[in-house]
Amino acid sequence: MRILKVHVKIIDNLDPDIVILGIRQQNKLVNQMIALAEGAGQETIVGKDFNRNHLIPLSRCLSFYTSQKNVYVKTLGSTELQVNKRLYELAASLPKNFIRISNTEIINLEYVKEFEVSSTGIIIIHFKNGTQTSSSRRYLKKVKERLS
């Protein structure tokens, strides 16, 4: 078995979600290290499109919503995939950075840019990617409590 030497170089301005490996050639051991780094500390959910299943890290999920009796996940890349869970099941099992904002939607607070209160009392939620959604009045109190 080959023993690899590891050198760590801290790069202050590097995105916190990026790991850089310097290698001379890719092999089985390097591929295992890549797989380990890509899956480290990430919870995932399975999304379907057509007959294909995709493993999606929760850190890339913008929101979960219902449409025509199905639950979908919207990812950072604007991909929308069907999820085989009900919204109430997701609300109970998702990490704290996800919050239910209506009967039909759960959002990831990490990607919220700003909240805007409309003249009718509805909260309009603007995401960092330019999209927006709104919170129903029924969930307004819960959203305010969570944010304060």
- Six-digit token string for 104: 């039909």
pLDDT of residue 66: 96
Burial class for 82, CB neighbours closer than 10 Å (0-12, 13-18, 19+): middle
pLDDT of residue 88: 93
Q: Does residue 11 belong to any structural domain of this protein?
A: no
**Which pLDDT band holds residue 146 (cuts at 50, 70, 90)?**
confident
Percent of the chain clearing pLDDT 90 (strictly above): 41
Averaged pLDDT score across all residues of the chain? 86
Domain enclosing residue 77, as ranges: 44-147
Percent of the chain clearing pLDDT 70 (strictly above): 95
CATH number at residue 112: 2.40.50.1020
pLDDT of residue 41: 58
Q: Does residue 37 belong to any structural domain of this protein?
A: no
pLDDT of residue 27: 84
The two most distant CA atoms of the chain are separated, in Å, by: 68
pTM of the model: 0.70
List pLDDT tens digits, range 54-83.
888 898 999 999 999 999 999 988 789 999
pLDDT higher than 60, residue 139 = yes
At residue 93, what is the residue type?
A: S
Q: Does residue 79 belong to any structural domain of this protein?
A: yes
Q: Does residue 122 belong to any structural domain of this protein?
A: yes
pLDDT higher than 70, residue 10 = yes
Sheet containing 44-49: order of strands: 52-57, 44-49, 80-83, 70-75, 61-67, 105-108, 98-102
Number of domains in the chain: 1
Q: Does residue 111 belong to any structural domain of this protein?
A: yes
Q: Does residue 109 belong to any structural domain of this protein?
A: yes
Burial class for 107, CB neighbours closer than 10 Å (0-12, 13-18, 19+): buried
Q: Are strands 123-127 and 98-102 parallel, antiparallel or unpaired?
A: unpaired
